[in-house]
Amino acid sequence: MTMTPSRFVILFLLSALVWSGCSNVTFTQPMPLNRRDLPKFPSKWRGTWSDGKDMTITIGEYYFEGDDLEKVALGEDVLLRRFHGHLVLNQPEENGKWSVLLGRRWKDELKLWTFDGAEEAKVAVWSTILNDSSITEFTRDEELGVKAYTLAPQNNAAFRKLITEGGTTESYTLRRIEP
């Protein structure tokens, strides 16, 4: 089986939530702030989703898994919350920060968004919304010059602006193939 660039992107993003230290953008706390964790995926999200080519993800009541991704269960290390029409998946990193992935379902279509520090336009949006004081930039890999960011929205209004004013990157669109 060959790994297409788009398939690699989604597996990388999901893997960033599963294996610590992979995300180049983290948050100081799980997002959104002070919201309850959902104990399971909503029933309308459950099923098998695919890009129609070679990428398939299955969402169960308490877990998700993919072709090249081991089963990941909701719990203390994987938090699921609702916010502004999205489900927000939070995974702790080794450094105590949190990786965040947003998903939004519309009928039988599922879109995923991330925070991508490789896009300078997105970093500029974060700087404007968070007034620079809530962003920490550091170099993760000196040789490659890979930058990493830690975002610290002071409240959910700031987090909402990050989502609604262009601070996220759409990473994938999947369609339901089995309920």
DSSP calls for 19-84: STT--SEEESS-SSTT-PPPSS--GGG-EEEE-SSS-EEEE-SSEEEETTEEEEE-BTTBEEEEET
Which tokens hold the place of 147? 């930058």
Nearest residue to 21 via CA among 97, 84, 72, 87: 97
Q: Is the pTM of this model over 0.85?
A: no
Per-residue pLDDT of the chain (179 residues; tens, 9 = 90+): 444 444 444 444 454 444 333 468 999 999 999 999 999 999 999 999 998 887 789 999 999 998 878 899 999 999 999 999 999 999 999 889 999 999 999 999 999 999 999 889 999 999 999 987 788 887 666 666 678 999 999 999 999 999 999 999 998 899 999 77
Q: Residue 52 has what pLDDT?
A: 84
Distance separating alpha carbons of residues 18 and 29, to the nearest angstrom: 17
Q: Residue 156 has what pLDDT?
A: 97
Provide the residue type at 87 as one letter: L
| Residues linked to residue 56 through DSSP beta bridges, in sequence order | 50
70: domain range?
Answer: 5-178
Please state the domain count of the chain.
1
CA 61 from centroid of its chain's CA atoms = 19
H/E run at residue 167: none
